[in-house]
Structure formats: C-alpha cells, structure tokens
Amino acid sequence: MSAAASNGFEPVIGLEVHAQLLTRTKQFCSCPTSFGAEPNTNVCPVCLGLPGALPVLNAEAVSMAVRTALALHCTIRERSIFARKNYFYPDLPKGYQISQFDLPFSEHGWLEIPDPASPEGTRRVGITRVHLEEDAGKNLHGVVLAEGRSVVDLNRAGTPLIEIVGEPELRSAADAVAYLKQLRDILVALGVNDGNLEEGSFRCDVNISVRPRGSSVLGTRVEIKNVNSFRHVQRAIEFETARLAAVVEAGERFGQHTRQWNDTEGSTVFLREKEGSDDYRYFPDPDLPPLVLESAWVEARRRELPELPADRRARLCSALKLSPYDAEVLTGHPRIAEFFDGVLATRPEDPVWAKRAANFVMTEVLADTRTHGLQASFPATPAQISAILELVDAGTLSGKQAKELYARVRGTPDDPASVAAAAGMVQMSDTALLEELCRKILESNPKQVAAYRGGKSGTLGFFVGHVMKETKGSANPAIVNELLRKLLAT
Amino acid sequence: MDLLDGSLVTLADAVRDGTISALEVADATLARISAAGADATGTYLDVDAERTRAQARAVDDKRARGEALGALAGVPIGLKDALCTRDARTTCGSKILEGFRPPYDATAVARLRAADAVFTGKLNMDEFAMGSSNENSAYGPVKNPWDPTRVPGGSSGGSAVAVASGLAHATLGSDTGGSIRQPAALCGVVGLKPTYGRVSRYGLVAFASSLDQIGPFARDVRGAARVLEVIAGHDGHDATSVPRPVEDFVGACGRDPKGLRVGVPEEYLRAAGDSGLEPDVQASIEQALRALEGLGCTLVPIHMPHTRHAVATYYVVATAEASSNLARFDGVRYGVRVDPGRDLEAMYGATRDRGFGAEVKRRILLGTYVLSAGYYDAYYTKALKVRTLIRRDFEAAFAQCDVIAGPTSPQVAWPLGEKVDDPLKMYLADVFTLPASLAGVPGISVPAAPSKTGLPIGLQLVADAWQEARLLTLAHAFEQVSPAKGLRPSAIAR
C-alpha cells in the first residue's frame, strides 16, 4: 500500500462485473455466440437492429443467470422487467441496450472471501443484484478498410451478459482481487462463463472512493472502466487509492467521473464526467413481456447447482483435513476439482488417502496439466492416479517408485498395476534382507552411530538415505525406519 | 372486369378454380394503377409491374402443377410501406430510409405470400405512421378519391385509398391510435385493427410498440376477415404475439347478430362540442344505431368516463416509445447518412435533422422529454396509470354489452392543408379511435351513410379482446343494410 493511502485514508470499493454467458445463441435472437468469425457474419435483423425486428428472450440465458444468482445466495424476483437503456453509440445497433433497471430478476446476495482476521477465516461481501442484459458490438478504430476511420463489428452485439453488482464493502486492492477470484471461480464452476478477463468475457468496473479511516461518510466516487486482469485491478486500485487520498488531503474538489486504467503508465486517466450526461431514460421495453420465474422452476434450478468452490474447499479442509492452500489449488478450476474428486472416488472420506492424493496430484499431475478457459487437458486419468496410489497404499511401491510408474503410464491408456508388474517394480519389504543391509551401513558409519546414540536422533535420516540409495529407492521406508531404530537401540 | 370490383373471397375462389388467372388479375390491377398515375394520387411509393407479374405467374404455375392454392390466391394486395419486404424498398414514408431494402419479410407479409397473394406495391403513409391525414409523408400527400382536394386520413392513407380506388383488392395497414380505422372511415372502406397480440408485429417498422397492430383494409367485411385469418396467429419472432387459435373469421360473417347488446358510450355522441363531432357524422351514426336495432341488437347506454384523457395519455405513451424506437435511425448501418465530416455527434445530428420530418422530430422531442429524469413520473408513469383506467372503462363496458358502437372519426375528410399547422387539432381527430388502441382491444370501421356532400363516414365497432369473430358478425350484418353499400368514389365511377 502506498504512503498516501496508509496516511489515514481507506478506500471504499464496489465492483461491477459483466460476464458473458456461455449460451449457444444470443440473448434475443438465434445467432451463434461463437468468437473469431469474420466481422458482421454472426448477425441477423434482430441483432443488427434492423427496422421492424423484435427481440425474443433466450431461455438458456435465463436458466444460466438464475443458477448464478442462486449460487450467489440472491433472492429471485418472480416477475422482473426488461428495460431499455437509451444512448447513441455506433456499436449499439438499436440506440438502446436491453437491460434490467428497477426490477432486476435477483438481488440481495453475498459471496465469501478469505479473511485471515476473522475467526472463520472468511468474510461475506454483499451482492446488490444480478441482472440480465445484452452486450454491444465492437468499434474498431483505424484498422483494415478504415484508413483512420472507425468500423463496427456487430458479431458480439446481443451476446447474453449478466451484470453482477457488488456492495461497496471491499476495503483494499487485495479484497477486490479476492472477491473477483471467488466470483470467477463460482461462474466457472457453474459452467456459465469461461472466466477469461483478458478476452473480455469477464469484465470488471471498479467503483472507488476514499475516506478518513474510521469515518462512515462516503467520499465522492470515481469509476475505473474495464480493468481486464487481476493484476490490473490490484494496481489500479492501489494507484487510485493513493491518488484520491492525495487529492482529498489537498482539499481539491472533484465530481463523480469515469477514469481509465493505463497499465503502461501505471496510472488512471480522466475519461468523462458523470453528472448530467447520464440520463439513459430507462423505461420498460414494450417488446418484451415481464420475465416470470415461478418458484417451482427456480427450485428445480437450485437442485441442479453443482458443488460450488467454497463448499468443495470446506469439504476438503474439514472432512478431509487438507490444508487451505491445498484445497485452494485443487478447487481453483472446475476440471481440476472434478479430476481430484475422481481420484478420491474410491475412498471419498479417508483423510490419509486424500492427503496422499493431494500431494501426488499437486506435485506430479498439475505440473503438466494445461487449462484453457473452462477446458483442461490432463496427462493421465483419475483412475490411473488412483491405481498408482493404491500400489503405494498396499506397500507394493515406494513413493519414488510411484513417481517412476506415473512417468511410464503418463500419456498412455495403460493400467498402472500391469505396467508395474511387467517392469518388476516392487517395493523391497523382505525384513531379513533389509536388516542385513542396515547392519552393514551402521558398521561402516561408526561416527554417526555414536552421534545418534549420544542423542542426535536426527541422524536416523542419514541412515535411511543410505538404505534407499543402496536399494535404488525400492526399500519400504516404514520397515527400514523400524529396523534402524531397533538396531541402534541395541 | 367484374371480379376486380367484386368481393375478395369470390376473386380468390375464382383464381383457385381457374376461372381467371392470377396474371390476368395482376395485369388488370397494374393497368388501373398505371392509368391512375402514381404521381396523381400519391397512393403508391413503389410499384414494380414485373415483380408483381412474376409473383402472379408463380401462383398460376403452382396451380398448373396441380398444387392447391392458398386462401388469397391471386388477390392483388398492397402493403403499407411500414412493412418490411425483401423484394421491395421499405421507407416508412421517411427520407431517412430512402432506398432501404430490408433483407427480410415481415411475418404478416410472409404469411400473405404463403397464401398466394400477389403484391401490387408499397403504399404511402405518414412518416413512421405519425399522422392522421397522410400529409406527413416525406413523399407527398395522398388524395382522397371521393374528393381529391381532401385528405384520405392517416397514417395508413395509401392503404385506404388503394382499396377505395380499386388499385388493390385489399391492403395491409398498421394502427397505433387509429391509423387503420380512421382512414378507412374517411375513404369509405372496411378497416380492421385486431386485438393487440393477434397479428405478429415482426417486420413492422415500430412506432409505438405497445400499441402497434397490423390489420387489413378491404372492400367488404368478409374480405377483411379472410385476410385476418391469413395474417393472424402466434409468431415465435414476436414475444408480444399471443398463442391463440385463429378462428373461422370468414364464417363469422353471415352469422345472425340478433341479441347482441350494443353499448353506446354517452361520451361519444353527447360531447359533440368537445370532440368536434360534426352534425353529419352524428346523424349518420344515429341512423346506423337504429339499423343495428333493426338487426335485433339491443342498444345499451354506457359510460367511458376516461375517454377525455385518451388523447393526452396516448401522446405520452406513444411518443415515449417512439423516441426510443426511432433511435436506430442513426445513419450508421442503413438508410441515409449525412456526415459533415466533423465527428460522430455531428453525423448523428445532421443525419437525423435531414432524415426526419417536422412531425417525427416533434414526437421524438416529446417522447424524450416525458422519459427524462425528473419528468418521468409526472408524465410517463402517470400516463400508464391513466391507460389502466381506460382499460377498466372497457372492462366495465363489456360487462354490460358485447360490442361498443360509435363514430370512427368525429369528422369527414377535411381539406388538404387545413390542419397541418395545428398539431393539436390533428391529434384530436383520433379521439374515438385512441381508447381501443390504449386498451388493446379490436376495432373495425364500416362505411355508414355518407355526409350530405357525399363524403364517407365510418361506424366504429369495438369488441373485447379476442372477440374479432363477434365484431365481424355485427360489422358484416350492418354492412348489408348500410346506406353506403355499393357506393364507389366518383373518380372510380367516372
């Protein structure tokens, strides 16, 4: 935190997130939502705003939006209204955006962010509302065909969006990033959004003001538009907090306005005044009847909700005794979470098994797992991992051998048990053989033996290491430990 | 050609059974349009003889292949220029859409095509359907065939005149506050505004979305019923279209209206001073009411106390919606663009300044004002409340009667130019048609006894929502006894 911000001021931050829904078709027409098509090809009379064209609501978008609102603990309004937000811009074909205004379909929710200061380790942040709306097209400036002029691509126009408005309950850049990460994880887990900030399918506007620490009065707010990565959010908030604190401290007056984050400069710049210019003349869209969500239908959507990242983390930490860090890593991506659950499947309630699985997945599997958006490609199947760990559990393989076996089966459909048998990979558990080996090692290291017997119990690892070296890692460590202790004691 | 001046149903049946070919009908109609001279009447904005003949030939070919023909086989139908057509320009009477050719057909147009109708062309109208005299068209006024020095009414003036003059057998118009019923009355033809939600609005250039309805003009009630059967019905492209079955509307024509209770609003005939009801219109409607009694109907005096607020309510609701609906005409994607080369704002400003006419600008300004922060509740919210009260007037009325009868327009066709400088006077011309629009209920105008000077007068019948069949039964029965039966404009008689 910069000097000025720590100088008696605290920021008050609320985030507005626009997330594109992963529907097959657009919000109010049947054009595909796929990206990367030639400009102005995924368009029809409706999303081009041609005279006479009318919107018809996409039921899939409603279903995704409602699942999101339920996952964010919002109450669902039985009868909500689509409103027109009127303004002129070339990327807005109808001259208005269909959105929701005074009667959104959901409101009053919350999500939890990590909070080391609280006894539960988490804290709730309020969600003001979640509503449905449509995306605009894209203005492209000075590109092909344009020669210094601007052109418009309307492929994106009409893509379904949900806007998630958070309460101004965040007090630091770290809070804001934690909130965004939690929110993104939830949307991704629900399968309604791909969580891609850079490509703009998950966009964030930051509302921020500062006030003297301890004050309950809100300062004048500025909005930082379209901050498109977690790092940018962090930096933009830190910068703006310091800037606002300096401005307020200097007693300068300013009005509500919109700013833009310039990552290269590392600063925000003034974009436009808010006051006076923003009369969007919202009114109910007469082309769309009220959206009626019957409670039985809503409850059916609630039953469809998957286990959400926070619940999954709680299960891993409390029932399976994993560390918060491990739980975080293993639930951060929905495919990874599913993979890990697949490894746990044979012993879903066994903490020892869970710890072994967590270690193996985190150190071995995730090292060469690639994720892209909602997709992930794994080097092995959960069943293969689970089979390797069974061999460890049975004492057939040592940890080192397990890693070797994984290296052999990775990228193949082969059964680990068969591969291990064929390669003769078996842990050495023959007590007589191991005892002879241990005796030899103790005899050739009298100094260390004397040290151990003199009280330096840490020397035990030294002997274990030697045994492992002699057996190329195949000795059963539990048996070796026991034998060494016994021999050293006599 | 008798068939050309006969009933629509007879003509379609004749084409279906091969008595006459669709091409012969099309050629005869095109000859009349050509003889009338598009410039002389101002009725059509777009006629393409080859397009029309090709469509007629396709109908004849279909018959030659032994395929069954549709309900409007070979019927020459004209389309208000507010309806999108994939093979003809659609200007909505505005400069801003000059030369615009939509890539799609309105649902109602597609349904007419599928029923084997043959399109004569696109019909003149008040710009964006805003007007009651057709004098607000960017392409010049339309003249009333009964007296070419007078207006035909509006906004569907071209659609009314085409039918009155025999330049189409039937036409489609759109009615937002009376734009079908009023010109039908002033031109002596039948004009029907269906229940809101009965006909898909997809492809109708929007004026006021919560009020707009497409409907037919025809020479007789049965013809209007046949067209309605074709264009009505749920459409997945319009979220406000209602999934109700399409009834046998043609069959409803010819049923006995005996026993129907006909409500006569005190406010419609009594308040002659307020509404500017002309004595000739009053006399004609009173005569019509006696005729309805003669048909076995019972007259029931009713009250529509909120009628007097209809004009004010309408001009808040309709202009509010229009201010938003017309935002898409910005010069960016289609239509006319005027670019002074400075910046975006200047392009928007110049395009809309040059593209829109005075009345359209007036309504956009009004609508923008009533939706503005600080004024919204005083105007828009209040107007919605009054609209509810007007709806309740109808609910109360339909508890006492089956159909409401009264004048369609307080006046006969007035001289061209008489009201162009007095918008309020023009707005008051719609006082009797606005309430049904605000309530979303169906209304029809049927020719009644003409004025002393021979100008047409319309009897308006209004029924409860979805009761078009009942409306058509009464309208058809009245048509048979109306003194206007068989009357044609002198211009045609000559």
Predicted confidence (pLDDT) at residue B494 exceeds the cutoff of 50? no
CATH number at residue B58: 3.90.1300.10
What is the percentage of chain A residues whose pLDDT exceeds 70?
Answer: 97
Taking the CA atoms of chain B, what radius of gyration do you get in angstroms? 21
Per-residue confidence (pLDDT) for residue B383, from 0 to 100: 98
- Interchain proximity B240–A93, CB inside 8 Å: no
B contact test, residue of A281, A282, A287 with most B CBs within 10 A: A281
Question: Can you count the helices (H) and strands (E) in chain A?
Answer: 16, 18
- Interchain proximity A93–B344, CB inside 8 Å: no
Q: Cβ-count burial of A65 within 10 angstroms (0-12 exposed, 13-18 middle, 19+ buried)?
A: buried
Per-residue confidence (pLDDT) for residue A5, from 0 to 100: 45
A contact test, residue of B324, B377, B382 with most A CBs within 10 A: B324
* Nearest in space to B321 (alpha carbons), one of B393, B235, B215, B240: B240
Per-residue confidence (pLDDT) for residue A422, from 0 to 100: 83
Q: Token pair for residue A475?
A: 């000795």
Question: Can you count the helices (H) and strands (E) in chain B?
Answer: 22, 11
Q: Token pair for residue B356?
A: 């829109």
Q: Give residue A1's pLDDT band: very low, low, confident or very high (50, 70, 90).
A: very low
Task: Please tell me the distance from the alpha carbon of residue A236 to that of residue B59, in angstroms, as a whole number.
Answer: 68
Task: Please tell me the distance from the alpha carbon of residue A288 to that of residue B210, in angstroms, as a whole number.
Answer: 10
Q: Say which residues have a Cβ less than 8 Å from residue A277's Cβ, sequence separation at least 6.
A: none
B463 neighbors B469 (Cβ within 8 angstroms)? no
Q: Give residue B38's pLDDT band: very low, low, confident or very high (50, 70, 90).
A: low
Residues from chain B contacting residue A88 (CB–CB below 8 Å): 327, 330, 348
* Nearest in space to B123 (alpha carbons), one of B150, B96, B75, B88: B88
Query: Using CB atoms, which residue from B104, B237, B328 is nearest to A56?
Result: B237
Q: Token pair for residue A308?
A: 């959400």
DSSP codes of every residue in B239-265 = TT--------HHHHTTS--TT-EEEEE
Predicted confidence (pLDDT) at residue B82 exceeds the cutoff of 50? yes
Only one residue has tokens 């309208």, namely: B475
Q: Say which residues have a Cβ less than 8 Å from residue B480's Cβ, sequence separation at least 6.
A: none
A contact test, residue of B84, B199, B328 with most A CBs within 10 A: B328
The type of residue at B162 is: A
* Nearest in space to B337 (alpha carbons), one of B351, B355, B353, B357: B351
Q: In chain B, how many domains are there?
A: 1
Q: Cβ-count burial of A103 within 10 angstroms (0-12 exposed, 13-18 middle, 19+ buried)?
A: middle
* Nearest in space to B115 (alpha carbons), one of B18, B9, B35, B203: B9
- Interchain proximity B324–A289, CB inside 8 Å: no
Q: Give residue A333's pLDDT band: very low, low, confident or very high (50, 70, 90).
A: confident
DSSP codes of every residue in A87-143 = ---TT-TTSEEEEE-SS-SEEEEEEEEE-TTSTTSEEEEEEEEEEEEE---EEEES-
* Nearest in space to A197 (alpha carbons), one of A181, A220, A217: A181
Predicted confidence (pLDDT) at residue A54 exceeds the cutoff of 90? yes
The stretch A452-457 carries a mean pLDDT of 86
Task: Please tell me the distance from the alpha carbon of residue B57 to that of residue B26, in angstroms, as a whole number.
Answer: 9
Given 3-state DSSP classes, what are the helix, strand and coil percentages for chain B, each rounded to the nearest 5? Answer: 45, 15, 40
Q: Which fold has domain A431-489?
A: Arc Repressor Mutant, subunit A (1.10.10)
- Interchain proximity A286–B210, CB inside 8 Å: yes
Q: Give residue A275's pLDDT band: very low, low, confident or very high (50, 70, 90).
A: low
Which of the residues of B are catalytic? Answer: 80, 155, 179
DSSP codes of every residue in B424-440 = HHHHHTTTTTHHHHHHT
* Nearest in space to A160 (alpha carbons), one of A187, A127, A121: A187
Task: Please tell me the distance from the alpha carbon of residue A230 to that of residue A228, in angstroms, as a whole number.
Answer: 7
Task: Please tell me the distance from the alpha carbon of residue B33 to that of residue B35, in angstroms, as a whole number.
Answer: 5
Residues from chain B contacting residue A54 (CB–CB below 8 Å): 201-202, 237-240
A373 neighbors A196 (Cβ within 8 angstroms)? yes
For A441-450, B96-105, B382-391, which range has the lowest pLDDT when averaged over its residues? Answer: A441-450
Task: Give the number of other CB atoms < 10 A from CB of residue B10.
Answer: 15
Do β-strands A257-262 and A222-227 pair in parallel, antiparallel, or remain unpaired? parallel
Predicted confidence (pLDDT) at residue A123 exceeds the cutoff of 90? yes
Predicted confidence (pLDDT) at residue A161 exceeds the cutoff of 90? yes
The stretch A262-285 carries a mean pLDDT of 87
Predicted confidence (pLDDT) at residue B408 exceeds the cutoff of 90? yes
Per-residue confidence (pLDDT) for residue A476, from 0 to 100: 84
The stretch A252-260 carries a mean pLDDT of 91
Query: Using CB atoms, which residue from B106, B236, B372 is nearest to A52?
Result: B106
State the smallest CA–CA distance between residue A65 and chain B in angstroms. Answer: 20
Per-residue confidence (pLDDT) for residue B271, from 0 to 100: 55
* Nearest in space to B400 (alpha carbons), one of B267, B293, B304: B304
Name the H helices within B88-191. Answer: 107-114, 157-164, 181-187
Do β-strands A75-76 and A202-212 pair in parallel, antiparallel, or remain unpaired? unpaired
* Nearest in space to B440 (alpha carbons), one of B393, B488, B372, B374: B393
Task: Please tell me the distance from the alpha carbon of residue A461 to that of residue A485, in angstroms, as a whole number.
Answer: 11
Mean of the per-residue pLDDT values of chain B: 95
Predicted confidence (pLDDT) at residue B475 exceeds the cutoff of 90? yes
Q: For B107-153, how does the pLDDT look when each residue is reduced to its tens digit (9 = 90+)? A: 999 999 999 999 999 999 999 999 999 999 999 999 999 999 999 99
Residues from chain A contacting residue B333 (CB–CB below 8 Å): 48-50, 93, 152
Per-residue confidence (pLDDT) for residue B470, from 0 to 100: 98
Predicted confidence (pLDDT) at residue A3 exceeds the cutoff of 60? no
Q: For B206-224, how does the pLDDT look when each residue is reduced to its tens digit (9 = 90+)? A: 999 999 999 999 999 999 9
Predicted confidence (pLDDT) at residue A475 exceeds the cutoff of 50? yes
Q: How many interface pairs between A and B have CB atoms less than 8 angstroms apart?
A: 102
* Nearest in space to B390 (alpha carbons), one of B336, B351, B434: B434
Residues from chain A contacting residue B81 (CB–CB below 8 Å): none
State the smallest CA–CA distance between residue B368 and chain A in angstroms. Answer: 8
A27 neighbors A160 (Cβ within 8 angstroms)? yes
Query: Using CB atoms, which residue from B83, B103, B330 is nearest to A45?
Result: B103
Given 3-state DSSP classes, what are the helix, strand and coil percentages for chain A, each rounded to the nearest 5? Answer: 40, 20, 40
Residues from chain A contacting residue B201 (CB–CB below 8 Å): 52, 54
Please report how the helices A351-360 and A382-393 are oriented relative to each other, as an axis angle in degrees rounded to 10: 120
Report the b/e string of A267-286 with b at 16+ CB within 10 A: ebeeeeeeeeeeebbbbbbb
B457 neighbors B448 (Cβ within 8 angstroms)? yes
What's B18's DSSP letter? Answer: T
Per-residue confidence (pLDDT) for residue A88, from 0 to 100: 95
For chain A, which residues lie within 8 Å of any Cβ of chain B, measuring from their own Cβ? 45, 48-57, 84, 86, 88, 90, 93-96, 152, 279, 281, 283, 286-289
- Interchain proximity A52–B84, CB inside 8 Å: yes
Q: Give residue B490's pLDDT band: very low, low, confident or very high (50, 70, 90).
A: low
CA A269 to centroid of chain Cα atoms? 29
Q: Quick one: closest CA in B to A57, which residue?
A: B239
What's B232's DSSP letter? Answer: B
Domain residue limits at B57: 1-494
The type of residue at A223 is: E
Q: Give residue A423's pLDDT band: very low, low, confident or very high (50, 70, 90).
A: confident
Query: Using CB atoms, which residue from A51, A86, A152 is nearest to B332?
Result: A152
Q: Give residue A147's pLDDT band: very low, low, confident or very high (50, 70, 90).
A: low
Task: Please tell me the distance from the alpha carbon of residue B103 to that of residue A349, in angstroms, as a whole number.
Answer: 62
* Nearest in space to B205 (alpha carbons), one of B100, B82, B331, B335: B82
Q: For B10-22, how does the pLDDT look when each residue is reduced to its tens digit (9 = 90+)? A: 999 999 999 999 9
For A37-46, A78-87, A169-178, A275-284, which range has the lowest pLDDT when averaged over its residues? Answer: A275-284
Report the b/e string of A43-52 with b at 16+ CB within 10 A: bebbbbbbbb
Do β-strands B443-448 and B190-193 pair in parallel, antiparallel, or remain unpaired? antiparallel
A148 neighbors A140 (Cβ within 8 angstroms)? no
Question: Does B155 sit behind a cis peptide bond, omega within 30 degrees of 0 on the bond before it?
Answer: yes
Q: Token pair for residue A53?
A: 């064209």
| Domain locations in chain A as residue ranges | 3-297, 305-422, 431-489
* Nearest in space to A149 (alpha carbons), one of B341, B338, B335, B331: B341
